[in-house]
Amino acid sequence: MSSKPMQEKQVPVILSRQIVAKSRLLRIEAIDLKFSNGELRQYERMQGSGRGAVLVVPLLDENTMLLVREYAAGLHNYQLGFPKGLIDPGETPEQAAQRELKEEIGYGAKHFTLMKSVSMAPAFFSANMTLFIGEGLFAEKLEGDEPEPLELVPWPIDAVDELLAQPDFTEARSVAALLLMQRWRSQQSK
Amino acid sequence: MSSKPMQEKQVPVILSRQIVAKSRLLRIEAIDLKFSNGELRQYERMQGSGRGAVLVVPLLDENTMLLVREYAAGLHNYQLGFPKGLIDPGETPEQAAQRELKEEIGYGAKHFTLMKSVSMAPAFFSANMTLFIGEGLFAEKLEGDEPEPLELVPWPIDAVDELLAQPDFTEARSVAALLLMQRWRSQQSK
């Protein structure tokens, strides 16, 4: 294989850091950096809750996965995607996945498969999200803090092109989860 | 197909909006919302440059794609991913893709294929990124504004599992682009 393994590169030295803006939920930090070649730069990065998040692709049966349609304030429209949410203090990622499923779609899952942990714009954020598949669904509803019930959208597992073409299915983490799940399924069936 | 088409849901009414925090690059806005069921909520969302971004999966030959390893301030480590960057004023997404390739990996591409436009945490951001495949590479270097040269990492196109297993290959948008490219390739070869 011609690819290189991960190298232990010398990360830049943080010369100083300062909170330059702060709201109820978010903080923006400016950091002064010195790169290993001597270059000096100021970067800005965001600090969120630091709690981590989870996303679940729930498989209802052999042919059907479940999505939700939810208001997204950043885009000010409704977006189609997989159930997701922040990890509460004290929860494992799997416990958070179980709770979010029950809150958002009214199902628990008997079995979770961890697909991958992903980051989001790591140049700016430290946010981390663990992507799961949920199988063996059973009806169980928990009350969440949603302002309105989420629209539950069953979708044929094999209708991937149709889902990718939906104009409201845009979030990169849902796209990654969909395709990782498809890859996992094709490897299972070998 | 049992899935539902996208519905024109009534988006919440924005009762008021206010910039609650502001830095050199970023602004945080608080918005007061009234949902169609009467529920009132305050949400926070981030405003970035509003310029949109591009990401390219560059295919060097039949067997090799090109990645870069770059410092990511949010995680304060080096991350492996595909070349990407913001669209400059006046550029089309494809022009930005061409420029970023030349700046980050020292190649241009004769042909770009648009795979999908994706969003990033649309509950908080309006950021949009267009994912391309770049083919027909030719050597051409443009100076970028990077503080240090990016490490160029050739990778076998078929070594997908190995790439997904790399601990520094985490960004959801790079994962989505990798798997969309694989899907496109398998459809091309049918």
CATH 3.90.79.10 domain span(s) along chain A = 53-188
Going by their DSSP bridges, the two strands A77-81 and A64-72 should be labelled as antiparallel
Convert the pLDDT of each residue in B147-186 to its tens digit: 998 999 999 999 999 999 999 999 999 999 999 999 999 9
User: By the 8 A CB rule, do B170 and A119 touch?
Assistant: yes
Q: Which two tokens stand for residue B69?
A: 């390893």
Q: Is B68 helix (H, G, I), strand (E, B) or coil?
A: strand
Which has more pLDDT, A104 or B9?
A: A104
pLDDT at position A51 is 87
Q: Report residue A2 CA to chain centroid gap.
A: 31
Which chain A residue has its CA at the smallest distance from B120's CA? A171
| Residue A25 banded pLDDT, cuts 50, 70, 90 | confident
Compute the distance between CA of residue A6 and CA of residue A181 in angstroms, rounded to an integer. Answer: 25
Q: Which chain A residues are closer than 8 Å to B44 by Cβ?
A: 23-26, 73
- Estimate the share of chain A in helix, then strand, then coil, as percent rounded to the nearest 5: 20, 45, 35
Please state the ipTM of this predicted complex.
Answer: 0.93
Measured between beta carbons, the chain A residues lying within 8 angstroms of B116 are 164, 170, 175
Residue A188's SS3 state is helix
Chain A touched by B60 (CB under 8 Å): no
Interchain CB contact of A153 with B (< 8 Å): yes
Q: What is the DSSP string of A37-58?
A: TS-EEEEEEEE--S--EEEEEE
Task: Read off the pLDDT of each residue in B60-88 and give the average, rounded to a whole number.
Answer: 96
pLDDT of residue A9: 77
Confidence of residue B24 (pLDDT cuts 50, 70, 90): confident
pTM score, whole prediction: 0.94
Of residues B14, B70, B173, nearest to A172 (C-beta): B173
Evaluate if residue A1 carries a pLDDT over 60: no
With CB atoms and an 8 Å threshold, state whether B156 touches A3: yes
Question: What CATH superfamily classification does A53-188 receive?
Answer: Nucleoside Triphosphate Pyrophosphohydrolase (3.90.79.10)
A148 to B43: CB separation less than 8 angstroms, yes or no? no
| CB B48, CB B73: distance < 8 Å | no
**How many inter-chain contacts (A to B, CB under 8 Å) are there?**
238
Token pair 């983490």 is found at A173
- Give the pLDDT mean for A57-66: 97
Using 50, 70 and 90 to split pLDDT, how confident is the model at B9? confident
Q: What 3-state class would DSSP assign to B112?
A: strand
Whether pLDDT at A135 is above 70: yes
CA distance A136 to A101: 12
Q: Do A79 and B119 touch (CB under 8 A)?
A: yes
Instruction: Give the model's confidence band at A34: pLDDT under 50 very low, under 70 low, under 90 confident, else very high.
Output: very high
Summarised one tens digit per residue, pLDDT across range B108-157 is 999 999 999 999 989 888 889 999 999 999 999 999 888 998 999 999 99
